[in-house]
Amino acid sequence: MSNKTDMNEVMAILRPFGITRVLKVDTEFRLDENFRQHVVCIVAHECPDGRTCRIWLDDEQAESFELPCDEGTLWVSYVATAELRSMLALGRQLPKRVLDLYVENRWLHNLQESNDERHRKKEEKFFGLTATLRRFGCDSMGAEEKDEMRELILRGGPYTEQQKIAIADYCESDVIALDALLPKMLPIIDIPHAIARGSYVIETARIEDRGVPIDVAKLESIRARRDELILYLISQHPHIDVYDGKTFNQKKFETFLVRNGLAERWRKTHTGMYTSEDSYMEEMGQYFPLIEELRQLKKVVLQLQRDRFQAGFDHRARCPIWSFSSITGRNQPSAGDKQKKGIRSESPYVFGLPKALRFLIRPAPGMALAYIDWEQQEFAIAALMSGDKEMIRAYKTGNPFLALAKKRGEVPHSATKNTHPVEHEKYKAVVHGLNYGRTKHGLSRVLGLPVEECSKLLRGYWKTFSTYAEWRTTVRTLMFGHGTLWVWDGWQCLLGDKPNVRSVLNWPVQSTGAVLLRLAIVLAARKGVRIIAPVHDAILIEARDEDIEEHVRLAIEAMDEACRAVLGDVIRTECQIIRADGRYFDKKGKKLWDDICEFMGWDDSTSSAEQCHPSSQKSTCAPAQVSAVAANQQPNEVLNTFHRG
Amino acid sequence: MSEHLEKTLMEFCEMESTDNGQPNPEHSEARSIDSTPNRELASSPKPAPVDPFDPMHLGISTDYAAAISVAAATKPFELRKPNDQEYFRTSPHKHQRLIVGGITDKQDMSKLYVVSPVVLDEVKAWFAKHVRAFELVLTQTIAGAGFLWHVPLAEDRGGRWNSQQRAGCNQGETRWTNMASGRGQYDIKTIDNPKQASWESFPPMSDMLRQALSDGRLVDSLDHQLLKKLRGEIE
């Protein structure tokens, strides 16, 4: 237990905030058949009373226990979602106040720095508890000892009395670490914002615990025939001839690029090979549908080969979301890389799956889902944060790309995406690319236009959106002159060694996107909306089929409130409702999903979702777009009966 | 701060207003900028929050431009030249400039000491060779930090270095300028940066002088350490 002076100091800092008790908590668990936590033991140290609570829960005679959860009690943990999910698995109440020292450690050391440095930190597990304790000058348990105990816990019982004591001691060692870490970190963190961040951590624990409903029957059928399916899918794409059997062939990929006139524009690795990196293919896929088709195929093949995605016996997929784990504060859900043979371990996030496999998301009987996202969120955030009136105006037209083209006099005022597709794509590339700092050379590569012409396009962009250009200079000045940037909820980044200027310039917009999502989730949860997945700029919610419209209304209300608080205006939302007999739909994954259905002999006629404008949103932005998908129903039939309040 | 220094500064301010003719209306605006931290609450006043940790009540302003101005206004002013890595702008406003007599301490990094008008004639009589005329010019870096630059008046004494400092200062009135010492002269270059230089948020000249000269850089008596050093009375 920490010494009395430390405890007194901790309480002296926290009492002015109404905190009268601190509970440092750690739990040990393994995952059950539903990927929920089977809790083995809990240890808590209470401050200022100095009480220790060791609770063994792994056998039938589990102890009954009560841990304080009132507003005057602050729960302190390292990666608190683990402890909170343990409480949910045990059917216990969650605390009102949480301080996650992992999140605050991220906040304290959130540096804009070189990729090499970031990679080095990842390698040495910079944000792990052991490295953090070392950095703050505290003792920690040896890594070997930790591994041994983890193995013992994951293996499962029955345990001898000696093993039980050893596991509880191991659990308490992490609480002792918290005893040491808290007095060191508390004076240097922003306490109100840190505890406010804790309220998002509480919601993510709930989201992780709820999981996403999955069509397990279809998932298992796919897994059973995955080898044949891979070959079938590859054979269905003869125009994308990049595979040797089931293996991606670099030589064939190069031939594919040459054949389609893309070799000249394609980026090469430092060894001179054409890159097949997913992020680059994603970027190019925005402009070349064939590349997007290849990318989706590649992702499905890889996913089927790895076969990591799993759902529980309760037909729900669960995985850690890892909130605040990226420099922008966005979630970094599990990629399922830590799987171990014979042990139930993390599955990849369902929204990390290729788009075709997201069709496996299917509401539980009697329930419906709704996927609500912000439209062109990044452009809108950039416009509102910078206060660039031209950008705001362009956003409000519903098509900022054509609005820019019209402003530059390249298309008539009556132009639409259908009448001027070339100009639309050209300006889409300009707008998308510039937020990431794309140069005239990069633009030339994407558009296949001469560098001079791209230079002219860029000049036109900056001239039109000059306030935004000035704002970016301010961002740069603030970061490189004052060494810090921050967003509305206090998430910050600091100037590190050799930062990437493009990342710096993009940070406020990306981080504000993360703020909007966090705030919307907390507000929606208060309104009783059951959120089951956060997705970059969207949320997936679940409700009884007859209640879904009302829950969509509440969720959008929360999203609008978040935007108003952070940006002073709302951002358009669009929504896809998935009825009890429907399944998740994604336009970009439809072709491959249809191929999968054909191979498996399924009659799964998910018709394409069409968008509509059911009612006017009471805001300065355009109406929310709502679409619905039902397996045996034409979307428009559903839409005709659905109107937002 | 000593009474003497206050009095001397008052005299400087009188000189300033004589130069200017009229008291500067911008001063009152500048004074209204307080030294609250950059991350002040987004909208105040607000009703007392029910929950002190409610994220809705904890929003902070992301007006980055305002934050830069506040940071610049709260940073103590220095009396120095722009360094060779800085891009700077110089104030074109007369009320943000002041001609003074000064002595550079060549034994201590060529630090400038400003001679108070109270003792200027006497100091000149003793050290005519060392006293030179400078114009103190409010200068800001591209990062928004302000300082007073002692630009030698070229007509006072010849030399390419002096005249080029003057040229750099003039250039800085309209463009972001960088000045680095090259072979026997300053290399002056300018850049096209859309950032606007704002002069409204700086405090009055008297406040800037008070800060810049607070570490004994004002020669306000014949017993000043610098004069003693020049007379060989101390090391």
Give me the interface pTM, i.e. the ipTM: 0.81
B73 touches chain A (CB under 8 A): no
**A182: its two tokens:** 């808290």
B184 touches chain A (CB under 8 A): no
B195 touches chain A (CB under 8 A): yes
**A163: its two tokens:** 């093993």
| Res A397: pLDDT | 92
Q: CB neighbours (10 Å) of residue A587?
A: 9
Q: Which of A167, A194, A145, A63 is nearest to A492 (CA)?
A: A194
Listed by number, the residues of chain A in 364-403 with a beta carbon closer than 8 Å to a beta carbon of chain B are 385
Question: What are the residue ranges in chain A where pLDDT is below 70?
Answer: 1-3, 60-63, 141-144, 336-345, 605-645
Q: Which of B61, B69, B54 is nearest to A508 (CA)?
A: B61
Helix (H) or strand (E) holding A42: strand A37-47
How many residues would you count in chain B?
A: 235
The answer to whether A76 and A23 have CB atoms below 8 angstroms apart is yes
pLDDT at B108 over 90: no
Average pLDDT over residues B42-65: 75
Q: CB neighbours (10 Å) of residue B36?
A: 10
| Res A284: pLDDT | 86
Beta-bridged to residue B20, according to DSSP, are none
Within a domain: A102: yes
Question: Residue A474 carries which DSSP code?
Answer: H
Contacts of A475 (CB under 8 A, 6+ apart): A485, A504, A505, A507, A508, B64
Residues A367 and A384 in one domain: no
Residues A15 and A144 in one domain: yes
φ/ψ (deg, to 5) at A528: 90, 15
C-alpha distances in Å from residue A557, one per residue of A204, A524, A529: 20, 8, 11
Q: Nearest residue on chain A to B56, judged by CA atoms?
A: A565
| Residue B235 to residue B233: CA distance in whole angstroms | 7
Residues A335 and A247 in one domain: yes
Helix (H) or strand (E) holding B126: helix B120-126
Question: Residue B38 carries which DSSP code?
Answer: S
Within a domain: A497: no
Do B64 and A198 lie within an 8 Å CB cutoff? no
The answer to whether B114 and B213 have CB atoms below 8 angstroms apart is yes
Question: Looking at beta carbons, which residues of chain B come within 8 Å of A196?
Answer: 53-55, 58
Q: Nearest residue on chain B to A191, judged by CA atoms?
A: B53
Do B68 and A487 lie within an 8 Å CB cutoff? no
A466 touches chain B (CB under 8 A): yes
Q: Is the peptide bond before A48 cis (omega within 30 degrees of 0)?
A: yes
Beta strands in A435-578 (DSSP E): 484-486, 492-495, 530-535, 538-544, 573-578
| Residue B111 to residue B105: CA distance in whole angstroms | 5
Task: Region of A376 please: left (phi>0), alpha (psi -120 to 50) or beta.
Answer: left
| Res A290: pLDDT | 92
B44 touches chain A (CB under 8 A): no
| Residue A102 to residue A108: CA distance in whole angstroms | 10
Q: What is the pLDDT of residues A18-75, one digit of tens each?
A: 999 999 999 999 999 999 999 999 999 999 988 999 998 877 666 678 899 999 999 9
Q: Of A129-143, A519-533, B37-51, B212-226, which gets the smallest average pLDDT?
A: B37-51
CA quadruple A164, A167, A171, A174: dihedral sign: positive
The answer to whether A430 and A457 have CB atoms below 8 angstroms apart is yes
Transcribe A174-192 into DSSP letters: HHHHHHHHHHHHGGGS-HH
A331 HSE (CA, 13 A, CB side) = 30
Q: Of A454, A488, A522, at which residue does a domain stop?
A: A488
Q: How many domains does chain A have?
A: 4
Residues A120 and A38 in one domain: yes
Mutate to test the interface with A, among B39, B64, B85 (most CBs of A within 10 A): B64
For chain B, the average pLDDT equals: 77
**A393: its two tokens:** 């105006």
Q: Nearest residue on chain B to A485, judged by CA atoms?
A: B64
Question: Looking at beta carbons, which residues of chain B come within 8 Å of A471?
Answer: 64-65
| Res A279: pLDDT | 86
| Residue A174 to residue A178: CA distance in whole angstroms | 6
Instruction: CATH number of the domain at A223, please.
Output: 1.20.1060
The answer to whether A377 and A516 have CB atoms below 8 angstroms apart is yes
Max Cα-Cα span within chain B: 70
Question: Residue A481 carries which DSSP code?
Answer: I
Residue ranges per structural domain of chain B = 3-32+75-230
Q: Nearest residue on chain B to A195, judged by CA atoms?
A: B53
A471 touches chain B (CB under 8 A): yes
Residue with tokens 């070189």: A114
Transcribe A317-383 into DSSP letters: E-----TT-STTS------STT-BTTB--PPPPGGGS-GGGGGGB-PPTTEEEEEEEETTHHHHHHH
Amino acid code (one letter) for A387:
G
| Residue A316 to residue A331: CA distance in whole angstroms | 20
Q: Which of B75, B48, B43 is nearest to B60 (CA)?
A: B43
Instruction: CATH number of the domain at A90, please.
Output: 3.30.420.10
Domain span at residue A88?
A: 4-209
> What's the gap in Å between the CA of A466 and the closest CA on chain B?
9
**A346: its two tokens:** 């993390």
Q: Which of A415, A429, A300 is nearest to A354 (CA)?
A: A300
C-alpha distances in Å from residue A633, one per residue of A296, A581, A604, A608, A636: 27, 9, 11, 11, 8
Amino acid code (one letter) for A606:
T
Residues A113 and A135 in one domain: yes
Residue with tokens 């989730």: A521
Q: Of A430, A458, A488, at which residue does a domain stop?
A: A488
| Res B18: pLDDT | 38
Share of chain B above pLDDT 90, in %: 25
Question: Residue A76 carries which DSSP code?
Answer: E
Q: Nearest residue on chain A to B41, judged by CA atoms?
A: A488
Average pLDDT over residues B143-172: 82
| Residue B42 to residue A135: CA distance in whole angstroms | 34
Listed by number, the residues of chain A in 115-174 with a beta carbon closer than 8 Å to a beta carbon of chain B are none
Within a domain: A504: no
C-alpha distances in Å from residue B16, one per residue of B76, B116, B124: 21, 14, 21
Q: Of A183, A209, A235, at which residue does a domain stop?
A: A209
The answer to whether A101 and A78 have CB atoms below 8 angstroms apart is yes
Transcribe A128-165 into DSSP letters: SHHHHHHHTT-----HHHHHHHHHHHHH-----HHHHH
| A142 CB-contact burial (10 Å; exposed 0-12 / middle 13-18 / buried 19+) | exposed
Task: Region of B185 please: left (phi>0), alpha (psi -120 to 50) or beta.
Answer: beta
**A167: its two tokens:** 């596991």
Question: Residue A66 carries which DSSP code?
Answer: -
A477 touches chain B (CB under 8 A): yes
φ/ψ (deg, to 5) at A134: -60, -45
Residues A192 and A220 in one domain: no
Mutate to test the interface with A, among B40, B61, B62, B140 (most CBs of A within 10 A): B62
Burial A518-531 (b: 16+ CB within 10 A, else e): bbbbbbbbeeebbb
Residue with tokens 């004591």: A165
Classified as helix, coil or strand, A576 is: strand
**A636: its two tokens:** 């428009």
| Res A517: pLDDT | 97
| Res A501: pLDDT | 84
pLDDT at B36 over 50: no
Contacts of A621 (CB under 8 A, 6+ apart): A380, A395, A396, A569, A570, A571, A572
Classified as helix, coil or strand, B150 is: strand
